[in-house]
Amino acid sequence: MADVKKIATRDSYGKALAALGAEHENLVVLDADLAGATKTATFQKAFPQRHFDCGIAEANMICVAAGMATTGLVPFASTFAMFAAGRAYEQVRNSIGYPHLNVKIGATHGGISVGEDGASHQCCEDFALMRTIPGMVVMSPADDVEAQAMVKAAYEHEGPVYIRFGRAAVPVIHEEGAPFQIGKGEVLKDGTDVAIIANGLLTYEAVVAAEELAKDGINAMVINMGTIKPLDEELVLEAARKCGKIITAEEHSVIGGLGEAVCSVLSEKLPTPVKRIGVNDEFGHSGPAAALLKAFGLSSEHIVEVAKEMCK
């Protein structure tokens, strides 16, 4: 798997917007003076009259997007995850969530892998914040193919959607045209000893971990849970029944993200041992993305360690 192609999902976002823009004249894109970084410049180049730079004023951008949605347009409001989910939270909640408007939020540069930008930009709280907003769909793609499919699905979905994209290039694990449906996870590898439920860049790490575990006779199931809300509860329960042990892996705080969503389902419907891999109750710090991911335990090696301990 060392030769696998790598693409940053923020690049996938820009590409998908441009493709959809050619099909749908009601699609508009807003950005907060970050078109080059969020890759909405790809859309801007193709459709300059439908791209709106709102400046470094994310809260205002969200309100502009809300207003546009009331006219029948489908706005994709784009900025870094820290500013989309953090700085503009009140506007997302009150101006988009409360009236349940058809606004899509494209949040790039999520998680520790923002790297050298440091703790102020490494948003590891966005899943938790967005999950609490009633009616908000929350997603995080594993690779380029899933990212583009998510953008298309978001456009077709009626209601608010939050999608987190990454800065770092990640391996492409899906075939072109792989199906995607909001609220549905996918089994990448079947197994019976332990189930690893992951999303974002941790999905690839989970696949690699499963290959390593197989060398020690541990048969791990791998599930890509691209949609955090609504969660595919049936697939979570199926994994628990088959394996009896669950590991969740995400580039997000262990508080409020995928791990807690999985634990909530299991605690009510099928109590099962769970180990959550993510960022513990701490802030990140500046450094190369790859080194930070290793330091915070967001790696296949750490998944292997946790799985072996659970399977003793």
Span between the terminal Cα atoms of the chain, in Å:
28
Phi/psi of residue 184, nearest 5 degrees: -120, 130
Phi-psi label, residue 226: left if phi above 0, alpha if psi -120 to 50, beta otherwise: alpha
Structure tokens at 292: 């930070």
Question: Which member of 23, 25, 58, 212 is catalytic?
Answer: 58
Residue 196's beta-bridge partner residues? 222, 247
What DSSP state is assigned to residue 283?
-
Q: Which residues contact 64 (CB under 8 A, 6 or more apart)?
A: 30, 52, 54, 75, 77
Rg over alpha carbons for the chain, rounded to the nearest Å, is 19
Cis peptide before 273 (omega within 30 of 0): no
**58 a catalytic residue:** yes
Question: Catalytic residues, which ones?
Answer: 58
